[in-house]
């Protein structure tokens, strides 16, 4: 009892610069003097993905290139700042596979700013000449665009706010344009804007969105932004959300408490369009591929990995599978995903020099990783923003070639079945999506009429564009699967499809 009072909760110390030296042998720690690191990159959206991906590449480089430290900013919630500030920006990346969990402590994030409460500090830093790159992982919805067309959504509340208050912006486009406007006014060369989100043609798409926002503010600003470099990227690493059990396990491995360790897989890939007029770190020395045209890589990854992921997420969740590795334990699902990639996605890809069959097999292995614990529910989020680039682009190509797309069509039908918000046992699904309210209203109107549900959802032009909703072949394929999902359930529908 006395001991409990003397040592409440835990006797573990918190990970920080002063406790770093206590990390057990075998735990990799920064191999550079962090006090010498200066910021060269501002990263907007300092979430788990960035910390498992780009921040690790930069960590590999800082020893010899100390002027490329990262200042991270969170646009929505201050939770990352709250977790990392007491840790001097240090955190653990824990790589998990069947062989165990391998922790490494990352030091490349030298500061985290909360955009809401530290907006001026953040904008001043973004406007300063030492920042050469502003990178982003703000998720699909963070760009405030229409996912079907890739154009700025001028009616988005944050965009309307930022147009009315351009010097105190909330949105990512608003922040970028205000910082670029300040550079323009001060005669400072623009930074390169590097989106690391899973958008199709992310460089060109984000440039179109940001340039439009700038032009709405002022024509001259639009022209200035039109001259800014927006290198495209293909980013890949699977990063499940961290749980309390993960925190406990990591504490045991590193001998200190880390409020927000990042859990991930061994695989990592980063393909970057080499277009940085104001300079860049030698990312290639850390394993990134610098290429002239990144779009074929992006398309491959979005259609193969993310298309499979979303299909497994909706069907898998409805079938009662909590994790992707559980879905992969079901042979029918494996056959479905194997077929989706091989028969339907691969023929739409033109990737000279890449063995797509080997890429597919590697993806299947990654999905099987039993230690990763990647929730189907996590991937199911924001489907309205994800479907166009993951499933619908592939379907459009198949339609244009007069080819079938049964498995992709089932993926779309599963999304429609999922967003009604009730699972096969009649329990509520926590549907997270910017269009969730509208989709629930469509579902309520449709009642138990699958055809009406299809019609209502297919009329969402932000998702299906102005073409797919009216396409008869698309309608017949998806509506038939949707009907099956209601009539015979997910397991049976998948079984029937893979048997035919
Ligand atoms: C996933 C991605 O949550 C999702 O939608 O499909 O985050 C996926 O894990 C990454 O793109 C992998 O690189």
Q: What is the largest CA-CA distance in the chain?
A: 76
Q: Measured from the CA of 309, which atom of ligand 1 is nearest?
A: 6
Q: Among candidates 68, 73, 72, 71, which has minimal Cα distance to 279?
A: 68
Nearest CA to ligand 1 atom 8: 238
Rounded CA-CA distance 162/165 in Å is: 5
The predicted model gives 222-251 an average pLDDT of: 97
Instruction: Work out the burial of residue 62: count CB atoms within 10 Å of its CB; fewer than 13 is exposed, 13-18 middle, 19 or more buried.
Output: buried
pLDDT for position 20: 93
Q: Among candidates 180, 224, 230, which has minimal Cα distance to 208?
A: 230
Residue-averaged pLDDT of the chain: 96
- With the C-alpha atoms ordered 109, 114, 115, 121, is the resulting torsion angle positive or negative? negative
pLDDT tens digits, 128-163: 999 999 999 999 999 999 999 999 999 999 999 999
* Model confidence at 5: pLDDT above 80: no
Q: Does ligand 1 have an atom closer than 6 angstroms to the CB of 433?
A: no
pLDDT tens digits, 46-66: 999 999 999 999 999 999 999
Rounded CA-CA distance 75/175 in Å is: 9
pLDDT for position 1: 35
Q: Does ligand 1 have an atom closer than 6 angstroms to the CB of 152?
A: no
pLDDT for position 359: 98
Rounded CA-CA distance 341/327 in Å is: 16
Q: In what order do the strands lie in the sheet containing 91-97?
A: 100-106, 91-97, 262-264
Residue 259 structure tokens:
């409020």
pLDDT tens digits, 184-203: 999 999 999 999 999 999 99
The ipTM assigned to this model is 0.99
pLDDT tens digits, 466-494: 999 999 999 999 999 999 999 999 999 99
CB atoms within 10 A of CB 52: 23
Backbone angles phi, psi at 460, to 5 degrees: -75, 95
Residue 7: pLDDT band with limits 50, 70, 90: very low
CB atoms within 10 A of CB 19: 18
Q: Does ligand 1 have an atom closer than 6 angstroms to the CB of 141?
A: no
> Of all residues in the chain, what percent carry a pLDDT higher than 90?
96
Q: Measured from the CA of 310, which atom of ligand 1 is nearest?
A: 6
pLDDT for position 3: 36
Q: Does ligand 1 have an atom closer than 6 angstroms to the CB of 139?
A: no
Rounded CA-CA distance 65/77 in Å is: 31
């Amino acid at each position: 009892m006395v001991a409990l009072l003397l040592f409440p909760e835990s006797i573990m110390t918190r990970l920080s610069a002063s406790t770093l030296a206590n990390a057990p042998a075998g735990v990799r720690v920064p191999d550079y003097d962090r006090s010498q690191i200066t910021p060269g990159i501002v990263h907007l959206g300092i979430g788990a993905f960035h910390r498992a991906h780009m921040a690790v590449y930069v960590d590999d480089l800082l020893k010899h290139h100390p002027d490329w430290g990262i200042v991270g900013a969170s646009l929505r919630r201050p939770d990352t700042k709250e977790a990392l500030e007491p840790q001097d920006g240090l955190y653990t990346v824990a790589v998990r596979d069947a062989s165990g969990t391998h922790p490494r402590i990352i030091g490349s994030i030298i500061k985290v700013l909360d955009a809401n409460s530290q907006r001026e500090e953040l904008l001043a830093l973004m406007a300063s000449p030492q920042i050469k790159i502003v990178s982003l992982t703000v998720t699909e919805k963070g760009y405030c665009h229409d996912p079907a067309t890739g154009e700025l959504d001028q009616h988005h509340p944050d965009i309307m706010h930022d147009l009315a208050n351009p010097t105190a912006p909330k949105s990512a486009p608003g922040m970028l344009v205000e910082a670029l406007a300040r550079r323009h006014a001060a005669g400072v060369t623009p930074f390169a804007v590097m989106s690391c989100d899973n958008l199709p043609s992310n460089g060109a798409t984000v440039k179109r969105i940001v340039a439009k926002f700038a032009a709405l503010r002022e024509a001259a600003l639009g022209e200035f932004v039109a001259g800014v470099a927006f290198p495209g990227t293909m980013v890949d690493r699977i990063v499940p959300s961290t749980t309390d059990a993960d925190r406990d396990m990591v504490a045991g491995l590193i001998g200190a408490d880390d409020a927000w360790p990042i859990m991930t897989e061994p695989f990592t890939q980063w393909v970057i369009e080499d277009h940085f007029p104001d300079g860049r770190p030698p990312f290639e020395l850390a394993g990134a591929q610098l290429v002239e045209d990144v779009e074929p890589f992006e398309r491959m990854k979005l259609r193969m990995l993310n298309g499979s992921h979303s299909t497994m997420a909706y069907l898998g969740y409805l079938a009662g599978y909590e994790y992707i590795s559980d879905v992969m334990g079901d042979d029918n699902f494996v056959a479905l995903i194997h077929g989706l990639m091989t028969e339907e996605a691969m023929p739409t890809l033109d990737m000279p020099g890449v063995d797509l069959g080997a890429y597919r097999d590697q993806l299947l292995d990654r999905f099987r990783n039993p230690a990763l614990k990647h929730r189907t529910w996590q991937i199911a989020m924001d489907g309205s923003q994800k479907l166009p680039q993951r499933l619908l682009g592939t379907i459009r190509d198949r339609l244009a070639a007069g080819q079938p797309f049964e498995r992709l069509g089932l993926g779309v039908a599963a999304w429609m079945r999922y967003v009604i918000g009730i699972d096969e046992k009649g329990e509520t699904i926590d549907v997270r999506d910017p269009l969730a309210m509208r989709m629930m209203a469509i579902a309520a109107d449709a009642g138990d009429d699958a055809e009406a549900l299809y019609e209502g959802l297919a009329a969402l032009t932000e998702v299906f564009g102005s073409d797919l909703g009216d396409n008869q072949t698309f309608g017949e394929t998806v509506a038939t699967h949707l009907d099956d999902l209601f009539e015979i359930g997910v397991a049976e529908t998948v079984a029937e499809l893979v048997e035919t």
